[in-house]
Structure formats: C-alpha cells, structure tokens
Amino acid sequence: MQLSEILKNEHVLLDVNVDSRETCIDELTKLMEKTGVVSDSAVYKDAVLKREEEGSTGIGFGVAIPHGKSSGVEEAGLAFARLSDEIDWQSLDGKPVKSVFLIAIPEEKAGNEHLQILSQLSRKLMHEDFRNKLLQATSSDELIAALDE
C-alpha cells in the first residue's frame, strides 16, 4: 500500500490561488468529490471545519493538515494544494501556510492500512527535507513520488 493510492493525481493542486482557509478546503473537497472519495461534500466539510474549531490544524512550518472523519466520505482519501500566495491558518507557530493536505476518513471501519499511511505522512511532515520537497515539486507526479519515498 502506497501513499499514491489515496493521493490520486487528480487530487493535487500546484500553485493555486485561494484567499482563505475555507476556500482552500472547498477547492480540495471538490477534487475528492469528483473522484468519488467524498460522497457528500457538505457533510464532510462540516466535519473538517468542526475539527478546525477544536484547534487549528496549521502545524507550523507553513503546513496545514485539515482533516475530517465523516459519513460523507466513501473511502480514505488525501488531497494536496500548494498555494501561490500564503494564507493565514492560525498556525501553531503563527506563520502563514503554503502547503495544505486535506484528509478524508470514512466514519465506519476506516481501513487500518489507510490510517497507517496517514500516520506516516504526519511523521514525515515533521522533517524539513520532506517539506522542502513539497515546495520544490514541479509536477503532481513528482510530488506524489516524493511522498512515497
């Protein structure tokens, strides 16, 4: 099982322009709705925004990982956006955000393998060289390959 199986090519936005955290989540949700990962975008978005209320998912270092576990999700999925202009995410370190991972987890029996992968992604995000790769990738293929390394 590889990260690329849940981070599909169609789930990647490179150098996209969004003006707020909510539009960013909207854009990424649309991508996952198209591929059938998210079946009910309104329900899913509620879960994601509720999680943001509990505490910002801006983890610092210019990265945010909004996520939601919701019945509006068919199967585990991951979407990525690299923003052309940094936006505010009320991050832990107070800095604006450049890279956003949106994570979708189904309410019932989320497969363990998927969760394992997401936990590995979370661990990788704590490493600077990995974050740099996100910023340097020139295509979605290159980005997905970097994730799987």
Partner 1 sequence: MKKLLAVTACPTGIAHTFMAAEALDQAAKAKDVSLKVETRGSVGAENELTEEEILEAHAIILAVDTNVDEDRFEGKNVIRVGVSEAIKDPSGLIDRVLEMEEKSADEYVEQVQNKKKEKGAERQGFYKHLMNGVSFMIPLVVAGGLLIALSFVFGIDAAENEGSLAYYLMETGGAAFSLMVPILAGYIAYSIADKPGLAPGLVGGMLAEQVEAGFLGGIIAGFLAGYVALLIKKYFKVPRNLEGIMPVLVIPFFATLITGLLMFYIINDPVAGIMGGLENWLQSMTGANAFILGLVLGGMMAIDMGGPVNKTAYAFAVGLLASEIYGPMAAVMAAGMTPPLGLWLATVIAKKRFTNEEQEAGKAASVLGISFITEGAIPFAAADPLRVIPSLVAGSAVAGSLAMIFEAALRVPHGGVFVLFIPNAVTNVLLYALAIAIGTVVTALFVVLLKRNSPQAKAAQANE
Residue whose C-alpha is closest to residue 103's, from 128, 129, 142, 76: 76
CA 142/CA 132 separation, integer angstroms: 13
Q: Quick one: which segment of 11-19, 62-70, 132-140, 141-149 binds partner 1 (CB under 8 A)?
A: 62-70
Candidates 29, 57, 99, 140: give the one binding partner 1 (CB under 8 A): 57
Between residues 19 and 93, which has the closer beta carbon with respect to partner 1?
93
- Contact call for residue 81 and partner 1 (CB under 8 A): no
Candidates 19, 53, 55, 108: give the one binding partner 1 (CB under 8 A): 55
For the bound state, the minimum distance from the C-beta of residue 17 to partner 1, rounded and expressed in Å, comes to: 25
Spatial contact of 93 and 61, defined as CB atoms under 8 Å apart: yes
- Contact call for residue 90 and partner 1 (CB under 8 A): no
- Contact call for residue 93 and partner 1 (CB under 8 A): yes
Q: Quick one: which segment of 21-29, 65-73, 82-90, 134-142 binds partner 1 (CB under 8 A)?
A: 65-73
Please, what's the b/e burial string for 68-107 (b: 16 or more CB within 10 A of its CB; e: otherwise)? bbbebbbbbbbbbbbbeeebebebeeeeebbbbbbbbbbe
CA 129/CA 115 separation, integer angstroms: 23
Chain residues in the site for partner 1 (CB under 8 A): 51, 54-55, 57, 59-60, 65, 67-69, 92-93, 103, 105, 110, 112, 115-116, 118-127
